[in-house]
A and B are shown apart, each in its own frame.
Chain A
Amino acid sequence: MTSLFLLQLLNGVQLGVLLFLIAAGLTLVFGIMDFVNLAHGVIYMVGAYLVVMFAGMTGSYGLGLLLTLPATLVIGLVLEALIFRRLYDRPHLDQVLATFGLVMVVTELVKIIWGQSPLSILPPDALSGSVPLVGALRYPVFRLVVIGAGLAVAVGLWLVITRTRIGMQLRAGASNRAMVGALGVDIGRLFTVIFAFGAMLAGFAGAMVAPILSVDPGMGESVLILAFVVIVIGGIGSVKGAFAGALLVGIVDTLGRSFGPIILRAVMEPSAAAQTGRVLAPMLVYVLMAAILAARPQGLFGARP
């Protein structure tokens, strides 16, 4: 029981850091530019497809990952220049519609280029084994690497935001965009940088999970909506909130799915418990979101309601 708990906790943390990588870029875009971007999930999906393609071309997952990062960065820059830049001053409804159109286009393009059926890729040989945790329990090295990479990005982001000039501009932009612009900071360029960087983080997340999950055209959607839940819980515009929210959602979702039926078994018969648990577990994170919103409409770390 304890070892199962530990195992699921690690899986939860792994889902959490994954969600953080996606939510971090998204929450900055939401918070600073007051911009709704539904197309963030497809960039995560494209990242996964690109790593499969590049790894196939170079024969190495590591090289594939190195090529995927600049590729998603460029995709972010191009999309920002072509589409997003024109939408910043528009009503939310227009932003929703245009980015929804983009989701349709990119998903369809991916289907045309790589087909409908799921692709898969093996983790690099050096990381494909597993390490002993407690007693007989072992855990795949690659999943630990994903957790480590996610945490490293979180630390790196924290350093950038709190210790660098661009981080300072970013924090200032989040609290008063017009004033920062009046003081001579090129807000347009700042946002291009944030947007492209967020796209790269999403692409990085997709590339990291490609060896763990199956790579298919629907993979961006469930993650996008979970990232929304993370942002709503953490508070729009707060990277700290995105980190806390992502871990909370990742752990609650994973533990709920594995322990929900076990806990229910205490109050009902096993088969009914298994069934009820299976139905209720996926709803848990949304109930969590509703509870947090009822108490704090601005989210855990959000400034504005």
Chain B
Amino acid sequence: MTRWLMRRRVAAWLIFGGFAALPLIAALTGDPYLVVVATRILAFAMAALALDLILGYGGMVSFGHAAYLGIGAYAVAILSRAGITDLGAHLGAAVIAGAAFALVTGAISLRTRGIYFIMITLAFAQMAYFFFVSLSAYGGDDGVTLTTRSTVLGQDWLADDRVLYYAALAMLLGLYLLCVAITGSRFGRVLTGARENPLRMQAVGFTPFRFQLTAFVISGAMTAIAGVILANQASFVSPSYMNWHRSGELVVMVVLGGIGNLLGAIAGATLALLLEEWLALFTEHWRLIFGTLLILVVLFSRDGLTGLFKGRGK
């Protein structure tokens, strides 16, 4: 166990160190696009991390997590339209809105399990998608272009791609440490226990529902933060953030890196996005290859992807 903790610490240093050094590499190779791609990766890594918290530790397969990305992104768009450009306000609004949506839909979805849970989270995400599609005040289907990025203390520091990148990296690190603390706490152990055997948890005096719902709300709020970063990076917000394909991609990222081991989600997001970018260089039909790879890996590894990249220690 201690050896595992040690290894995880080394892996965390390597991953975050690599991310911290990336803008230097980009500057040396003279490829500014690298930082832009990497900012996107950081945002999706946050979302995958949040999903891993409930999928890996809580056993809840949410197939609607893209909704929270969109909620966070629209928090930026709506507040900016109202003249409020402060990053703190954007983050606060995103967290509150994401948590509220997660609280309501989670309370209903968690009355069920298995296939029902997957379908219901997907359906609620689609509801959010259609809400923003028909919200013509904010461009409807076409979305809105943001004129400026979020400001910090009234300064437009984030306008520099590299500053935005490091801000995103700091947030990812913060969220990662938060998740490590949560999963190592008594709360995290009850959550894992509820995944393994809800009946037994009930017998020893816990109410699994409360723990699962709390984790679901935390995860929703975290994903909304990722949405704020994504909106700032793209300077554009549209309902396509909430497309159910996005939700699927988030699940792929988590499973690709190995579920139930937070660093895996970050690695999975990095791997999946790099694979997308790389395949897109060759053909506009990269989804054909990506999808085929996905099917093959699930079919031909003994326990599916989950077995191929078995998370250590869990």
Contacts and interface: CB of A to CB of B under 8 A. Distances in A.
Contacts of B306: 91, 93-94
Main secondary structure of the interface of A (DSSP, over half): helix
A30 B251 CA distance: 20
A108 B61 contact: no
Given A101-B294, A104-B288, A93 B304 contact: yes
A84 to B, nearest CB: 10
B1 to A, nearest CB: 25
A225 B295 contact: no
B111 A101 contact: no
Max chain B C-beta neighbours (<10 A), residue from A90, A98, A101, A282:
A101
Nearest to A100: B248
**Interface size range on A against B:** 35 or more
A300 interface: no
B124 A286 contact: yes
A233 to B, nearest CB: 10
A77 interface: no
Interface residues of B, number: 47
A41 to B, nearest CB: 10
A279 B131 contact: yes
Interface in A272-300: 275, 278-279, 281-283, 286-287, 289-290, 293-294, 297
Contact of A83 (B290, B295, B305): B295
Interface stretch (B10-18, B112-120, B173-181): B112-120
Contacts of A278: 134, 136
A111 interface: yes
B229 interface: no
A177 to B, nearest CB: 15
A101 B131 contact: no
B274 interface: no
A109 interface: yes
A232 B136 CA distance: 30
Contact of A282 (B63, B133, B290): B133
A231 interface: yes
B220 to A, nearest CB: 16
B115 A34 contact: yes
A101 B130 CA distance: 24
B202 to A, nearest CB: 15
Contacts of A97: 251-252, 255, 294, 298, 304-305
A103 B304 CA distance: 18
Given A97-B251, A283-B131, A286-B124, A108 B136 contact: no
B154 interface: no
A236 interface: yes
A286 B119 CA distance: 12
16 contacts: A36-B115, A92-B115, A93-B61, A93-B306, A100-B248, A101-B292, A101-B294, A108-B288, A231-B119, A236-B115, A282-B130, A282-B133, A290-B108, A293-B111, A293-B120, A297-B112
The 3 closest A-B CB pairs, nearest first, are: A104-B291, A101-B294, A94-B304
Interface of B: 55, 61, 63, 105, 108, 111-112, 114-116, 118-120, 122-124, 126-127, 130-131, 133-137, 244-245, 248, 251-252, 255, 259, 285, 287-288, 290-295, 298-299, 303-306
Given A92-B118, A282-B133, 7 more contacts: A93-B61, A93-B255, A93-B259, A221-B244, A225-B126, A228-B119, A229-B119
